[in-house]
């Protein structure tokens, strides 16, 4: 499991999921609140994943050039960023235009 994640499981959960995942979720919310396009969280997530790899190496001695670890970090960070983005965008559409849209799921809306 350490080869896939590029670090120990507890480091992965604490650093990637909790710390950087929380930052990615809030970043997705901020981008959705400013009506940014759907592609815009992706470059920021790549930067977050690079910083995550650096901190995992400098603080915990993880492998800094682990491609599999970087991709695992990037997938989690992207998923949480787009989760925050889509939740916020759906909430904004339903609350700002209640006569036009109703919530279809937590991530989507539909026309009334």
Task: Please give the angle made by the CA atoms of 37, 38 and 39, to the nearest 5 degrees.
Answer: 95
pLDDT digits (tens, 9 = 90+) for 53-108: 999 999 998 888 889 999 999 999 999 999 999 999 999 999 999 999 999 999 99
Cα-Cα-Cα-Cα dihedral sign, residues 70, 71, 74, 79:
negative
What are the structural domain ranges in the chain?
A: 2-86
Residue 71 has φ and ψ, to the nearest 5°, of -65, -40
Give the Cα separation of 78 and 49 in Å (integer).
9
Give the Cα separation of 54 and 101 in Å (integer).
43
Q: What is the mean pLDDT of the chain?
A: 94
């Amino acid at each position: 499991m350490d080869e896939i994640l590029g670090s120990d499981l507890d480091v992965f959960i604490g650093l990637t999921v909790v710390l950087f995942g929380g930052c990615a979720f809030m970043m997705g919310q901020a981008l959705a609140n400013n009506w940014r396009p759907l592609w815009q969280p992706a470059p920021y997530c790549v930067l977050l994943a690079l910083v995550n790899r650096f901190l995992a190496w400098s603080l915990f001695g993880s492998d800094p050039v682990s491609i599999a670890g970087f991709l695992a970090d990037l997938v989690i960070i992207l998923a949480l960023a787009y989760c925050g983005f889509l939740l916020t965008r759906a909430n904004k559409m339903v609350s700002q235009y209640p006569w036009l849209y109703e919530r279809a799921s937590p991530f989507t809306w539909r026309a009334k």
